[in-house]
Structures are given as structure tokens and as C-alpha cells.
Chain A
Amino acid sequence: MSRNEQALPPSSSGRVLAAGAGLLALAAASYALSFVRLGALGLGLALAIAVLKALVVLWVFMQFGRLPASAKLAALAAFFMLALMLSLMAADIELREPAPAEPPAAAPTPSP
């Protein structure tokens, strides 16, 4: 049996519980920060906490680090496609030329 075909061994339930408690703590921090006036920084902080939570879910619950190489490659390919799509969209918004001004409405023709 190759290494990639071996079933995942059980991990510690205590680790899973600790991850769950950490996720709830991060969510509470995000909720508390939403009441502080931080302007644009507020969204950045909320998304940074979301990325942290996503990494906990990926690493502890979904056991990404213990996956066979082929499954890791599939996940990374999806992530690469996502990054490519978002980068191209951002580039489009940043580099798009402003829409031409609307032509002035034609003056009404005087009635005879």
C-alpha cells in the first residue's frame, strides 16, 4: 500500500475542541470590533480574522496538512484559479478607462 493510500489516523479530540473554542473566540473578537468605528480598517480587520478562522477549519477540521499529495494539489489548483480570477477582476477595475460622457441631448426642434 502506497503512502497516499493510507487512511487518515485519528487525531486528538482535545485538539478539535480547542480549535472550536478558538474559532468562537475569534468570532467574538470580530463581533466586538464591529462596534468600534475603524472606517476602512474595520473591513480589513474583519477579513483578516476570517482568514485566520478559515485556516483553523482547513488545518484542524479538514486536516489539510495530512492529506495525500494528489488531494492537496486539487485544493491548491482551485485556490490558484480563485486567486487568478480575483486578480484579473481587480486589474480590470483598476485599469478600465472611464466610460465616455453621455452626448448632450438634442435640442428640441422649434415648432413652426
Chain B
Amino acid sequence: MNGARHAAHFESLAQQDHATRLGMWVFLGSELLLFAGLFALYAAGRIAHPAAFHEGVAHAEKSIGSLNTAVLLTSSTTVALAVESLRRDRRALSIALLAVTIALGATFFGLKLTEYGAHFRAGIYPGGAGNFFTSHAAPGLPLFWTLYFVTTGLHAAHVCVGLGVLGLTAQAVARGKIGGERAYVLENAALYWHLVDLIWIFLWPLYYLA
């Protein structure tokens, strides 16, 4: 069928492809439920303290958050193009697109650290700690900022993991271990990156826009 080998417990490379794809989607489902708890907490907090959450959004770094949205959406596009390139066995183009994706992901993380730095300088810390909360004493505001740091922090951790996974996959493509016939390996790494993008698509309006 092709030159690539499959693991001993699979009958064919196609069966292995199918199993890994199914496993990846089950994993993505569990990740979705992990973030769903935080989204549910946000919804309950916003219903209980609408004014405080509105005030919290007003103090968010909207420009940095919006720039990060553009960066992450672009990176999702480039990683999807990298997968398409590898499926056509255009390895050099795939590696170049993966390098662009990794650079964009690192930019996202750098901007996120800049954003946290700005909040710390303004006296905003998790748990309602910091000078900010003495001048802004609305009940529910500490909850907003705690959820902000926990949720965006967890998301940033996922960005870091995604960068590592994409880096290792790019290395494997460069060494010729992954080609067009095993493109599903890169496809699964890209799926993880798309999930990171999907989560951010909902975090952005909730914590920065409205």
C-alpha cells in the first residue's frame, strides 16, 4: 500500500490513522469539558454580578487581547495550510508554514505576558489582591479578575504545550519521519492548535469586548 510502517497492533496504516484521529477527538472533548467548567463559573458570576463584570471588561487590555485574536486566527490558518501542504507531500512548504505558526504562537504568548505585566502594575492580582481593589470595591470584581487569570492562564499553558507539539512535529517532518502518507500525525497536532484557537474565540468577547 505504501512505504510507511504501522504499529504491530494495527492491520494497516489507514486503520492506525483512523484510531489516532478518534483518540484525538476524544481527547479534544475532554479538554472542552475542562474549559467548560470555567465558562460555567463565568456565566454564573456574570448573572450574579453584571455591573462588576462589565467594569472588569472595561479595565481589560482590549488592544492587546484583540491583537492576540488576529495573531491566533492567522496561526490557525497557517497550520491548516501546513497540513494541506504535507498531504500533497510538499514538505518544505509545510515546514515553513509550521515555522510561521510557531512564531505567531510565541508572539501570542509574549503579548499575553505583556498584558499580565500591565495588570500587575495597575495593582490587579488574582484573588482580589492588589491596590486596584481598594479603589474599585464592587462585589464580584475580585471574582472577575480571578476567573480572568485562571482561564487565560490555563489557555496560555495550552498555547505553550501546542508550541512544543508543533515544534516536535515540524522536526519530525524535517527529518523525513513524517511525510504525506503519515500526514495524520501533523493533522492531530494541528487539531490541538485549532482547539486552542476555538477556546480563545470565546474568551476574547467575554473578557475583553462586552
Contact = CB atoms under 8 A, between A and B. Distances in A.
A71 B14 contact: no
Contacts of A50: 201-202, 204-205
Interface of B: 12, 14-15, 17-18, 21-22, 24-26, 28-30, 32-33, 36-37, 39-40, 43-44, 47, 62, 66, 69-70, 73-74, 76-77, 79-81, 84-85, 87-88, 181, 183-184, 187, 190-191, 194, 197-198, 201-202, 204-206, 208-210
18 contacts: A1-B15, A5-B18, A13-B81, A17-B77, A17-B81, A20-B80, A27-B70, A33-B209, A34-B62, A46-B210, A47-B205, A57-B197, A61-B194, A75-B29, A78-B30, A85-B33, A86-B43, A93-B44
A57 B36 contact: no
Contacts of B22: 68, 70-71, 74
A59 B182 CA distance: 22
A13 B77 CA distance: 10
Query: What bracket does the count of chain A residues touching chain B fall in?
Result: 35 or more
A46 B205 contact: yes
Contacts of B26: 74
Given A6-B14, A50-B202, A74-B26, A61 B40 contact: no
Contacts of A67: 21, 25
Contacts of B25: 67, 71, 74-75
Contacts of B79: 61
Contact of A43 (B62, B85, B194, B205): B205
A1 B12 contact: yes
A77 B77 CA distance: 27
Interface in A37-88: 38, 42-43, 45-47, 49-50, 53-54, 57-58, 60-62, 67-68, 70-71, 74-75, 77-79, 81-82, 85-86
A78 B30 CA distance: 7
B49 to A, nearest CB: 12
Nearest to A80: B29
